[in-house]
Amino acid sequence: MKEKAVIDLGTNTFHLLIFRPLGEQSIEPIFKQRIFVKLAEEGIEQIGGKAQERALAAMRKFATILSDRGVQEVRAIGTAALRKANNSSLLVQQIKEQTGIAVSVISGMQEAQHIADGVRSVWSHSEESALIMDIGGGSVEFIMSEPEKLSWMVSLPIGVAILHRDFHHRDPLHAEEEAALRTFLRKELVAVEEELKEHSVTRLIGASGTFDVIADLFSLPEENYVEAKPERIADTLESIVHMSVAERRAHPAIPASRVDMITVAVILIQEVLALARFEEVGISKYALKEGLALNF
C-alpha cells in the first residue's frame, strides 16, 4: 500500500503522521513528527507575526519530508486557533502557496468525531461507556462513548493556551490564580457534569497530549492504550500544580514543550475527575490525527 499522510494544525502543535492503511479501521504508522508553533502565543483571536512564521516554517519542513518520501496523498486540517483567529484564512492561503498543501479548517464537532474514532480503534473495552477527553491548546473536546454509538460530544473553548494566558501569571501558580481558574472551569464544565449524571460512566479516557505526560510520570507501559487508577495519580497531579517553572523544567517526565502549560492542564484534569466517581483513567496515544487517518 502507498504511504499517505495527515497533518493536524493544532493551536500549540503541528503534527505530521505518515501511515499505510491496513484495511478497514486499521493503520500502520510509519513516521511521526510534531513541531510546536504556539499559534495562540499572542491570543487566539489573532495569529501573531512570529507565530505565522513558525507555522509556515513547520509546514515547509513537513512538505519537504513528504516530497522526499514520495507521499502524494495528504490531508491537512486546522482546529481551534484556525477556527477562531480573524486572520487564519491568510495563513491557510500562505501555506497553500508555499507548500502546495491545502488546509481544511474543521468544526469542533468534526474534531471530536475524529478523536473518538482514534481512541475507539485502540480501546479494547469499547463495548463499555466512557467519557473521552482531548486537551488542546485552544479547545477541549469531550465525547460520551457508549457501545456502538457516540451519544454526545462538545467542544469547549478552554484549551491550555487560553487558560495559561488568562490565569497563570505568577510562578509558581498563586493561590488566587488557582482559585479563579477552578471557579472558571467549574462553570465551563457544567454541561459535562450534567451529561455524566445521566450516564453510568466510570472511565475517563484522555487522548494524548498531557495524558502522555501522565503515562510517563508513572512509567506506564508503552502501548497505544493503558489504564491507571485515579487515586494512583492524584497526589502527583497535585504536586505538579505547586511546582515552580524551574522544578517543572528539571522534571525528567515533563517535556520542555509542556513546561509552561502543564500546570493549568493538570488543574483541568483534576476538575474533570471531580465531576464523577471514575474508577479508571485510560490514556490513548491514538487521537485526532489517527482518527483522521482511519477516515482518509
The DSSP call for residue 209 is: T
**Whole-number Å distance between alpha carbons of 32 and 285:** 12
61: its cell numbers: 519542513
> Is the Cα torsion angle 21, 26, 29, 35 positive or negative in sign?
positive
- Per-residue confidence at 127, pLDDT binned at 50, 70, 90? confident
What are the start and end residues of each CATH 3.30.420.150 domain in the chain?
Answer: 124-292
Task: Output the pLDDT for position 136.
Answer: 93
- Per-residue confidence at 162, pLDDT binned at 50, 70, 90? very high
**Whole-number Å distance between alpha carbons of 238 and 215:** 16
One-letter amino acid identity for 90?
A: L
- Homologous superfamily, domain 124-292: Exopolyphosphatase. Domain 2 (3.30.420.150)
Mean pLDDT computed over 11-21: 96
pTM of the model: 0.94
Counts for the chain of helices (H) and strands (E), in that order:
12, 11
**Surface-to-core class of residue 112, CB atoms within 10 Å of its CB (0-12 exposed, 13-18 middle, 19+ buried):** buried
Provide the mean pLDDT of the chain.
Answer: 94
163: its cell numbers: 487558560
194, 197, 79, 210: which is closest to 133 by C-alpha? 210
Q: Tell whether the model's pLDDT for residue 126 goes beyond 80.
A: no
pLDDT in tens, 170-221: 999 999 999 999 999 999 999 999 999 998 899 999 998 889 888 888 888 8
> Do 37 and 31 touch, CB atoms closer than 8 A?
no
Residue 72, helix vs strand vs coil: coil
Q: Tell whether the model's pLDDT for residue 142 goes beyond 90.
A: yes
219: its cell numbers: 512509567
Q: Give the CA distances from residue 82 to residues 48, 181, 259, in Å, rounded to whole numbers and listed in that order.
A: 12, 25, 24
Q: Give the CA distances from residue 143 to residues 5, 109, 117, 226, in Å, rounded to whole numbers and listed in that order.
A: 25, 10, 11, 18
> Do 184 and 167 touch, CB atoms closer than 8 A?
yes
Give exposure, 275-289, as e/b (b: 16+ Cβ within 10 Å).
bbebeebbbbbbbbb
Instruction: Please report, rounded to a whole number, the percentage of residues in the chain having pLDDT higher than 90.
Output: 88
N-terminal to C-terminal alpha carbon distance within the chain: 14
CATH-assigned architecture of domain 4-106: 2-Layer Sandwich (3.30)
Task: Output the pLDDT for position 101.
Answer: 98
117, 44, 121, 124: which is closest to 85 by C-alpha? 44
**Whole-number Å distance between alpha carbons of 265 and 209:** 10
What are the start and end residues of each CATH 3.30.420.40 domain in the chain?
Answer: 4-106
> Do 281 and 204 touch, CB atoms closer than 8 A?
yes
pLDDT in tens, 67-115: 999 999 999 999 999 999 999 999 999 999 999 999 999 999 999 999 9
**Whole-number Å distance between alpha carbons of 78 and 106:** 6
**Whole-number Å distance between alpha carbons of 214 and 187:** 25
Which carries the bigger pLDDT value, residue 104 or residue 222? 104
**Whole-number Å distance between alpha carbons of 204 and 194:** 15
**Whole-number Å distance between alpha carbons of 9 and 112:** 15
**Whole-number Å distance between alpha carbons of 115 and 133:** 9
